[in-house]
Structure 1
Amino acid sequence: MTQQTDKTNKTDTAIGMIRTVGVPVSDQDRALAFYTGALGFEPVVDVPMAQLGGRWIEVRPPGSPVSVALSPAPGRGAAGVDTGIRFTTADATALHARLSEQDVDVDELLRWEGVPPMFGFRDPDGNVLYVVEDR
């Protein structure tokens, strides 16, 4: 394969990594307390953003390059969605137990043959997130 020299084909025009995913929340303070408290995420950004009708808040799991934006839910009932977001953990059983002890709404820990242990849980707005054991 020959190297392309045409500037229009450079890789700097390609989509790179995922930086931030958004989760709609009805109460940003409550969401921030949940994500930093129960989930142990670290705050990244928390600034006023009048255009959003609240603040721009990002949190992330320690050491992760990807953050979660806790965005004000537009209109009534916009929060409480299946986000499709999957986090990883070294021990799904231990994390499931810890979140259950903290009264987080967790689903059954799934142990299916051929796939890593996993479970779903909901934040205070009912947004569904998932945890998969990292193998």
Structure 2
Amino acid sequence: MRISLASVMVDDQDKALSFYTDVLGFVKKHDIPMGGARWISVVSPDVPDGTELVLEPSGHPAVKPFKEALVADGIPFTSFSVDDVKAEHERLRGLGVRFTQEPTEMGAVTTAVFDDTCGNLIQMHQEG
């Protein structure tokens, strides 16, 4: 068994696609019309056939209170692995990304948390 898809609930699919590709550097894999919304997924440019991140519309009534509760408590929805948290933090900050947690060493990992502009906090982490 392998993980092929993971989702992040986004308030605006166009805004999310722009942020996740133009700012974070992911590559669009799919953008398929599905009625009022679209099936949009992005992948790491380093692993184009790897796990896809689906930019899922936040239309279900349970999503808004769930996301608001996570953000209010400072809890990231998911985490992305990076080679150098501090360098990526500087790159993203230079692009205007707002961080809720600066790079922080936590034993064997270093983490930072940012706002994805679509209603989520996202963590990035570096092991070692």
Q: Classify the TM-score, shorter chain.
A: 0.7 to 0.9
Q: Does 1:30 align with 2:21?
A: no
TM-score (norm 2): 0.81
TM-score (norm 1): 0.77
Name the count of aligned residue pairs: 117
Q: Give, as a single letter, the amino acid of the residue that structure 1 aligns with 2:4.
A: R
Q: How does 1:63-82 map to 2 (within 5 A)?
A: 63-64=46-47, 65-75=50-60, 78=64, 81=70, 82=75
User: Which whole-Å CA distance do the structure 1 matches of 2:94 and 2:6 have between them?
Assistant: 27
Shift of 1:83: 5.2
Q: CA RMSD in A?
A: 1.9
Shift of 1:30: 0.7
Q: How does 1:78-117 map to 2 (within 5 A)?
A: 78=64, 81=70, 82=75, 84-106=77-99, 107-112=101-106, 114-117=107-110
Looking at CA atoms only, which structure, 1 or 2, has the larger radius of gyration? 1
Other-structure match for 1:54: 37
User: Which whole-Å CA distance do the structure 2 matches of 1:92 and 1:29 have between them?
Assistant: 27
Q: Give, as a single letter, the amino acid of the residue that structure 2 aligns with 1:21.
A: A
Render the CA deviation track for 1:38-91: whole Å, top value 9, x for unaligned: 1000011000011xx310000012133111111111157625555532111111
- Stretches of structure 1 lacking an aligned partner (at least 5 in a row): 1-15
Higher strand share: 2
- 4+ long deviations beyond 6 Å: none
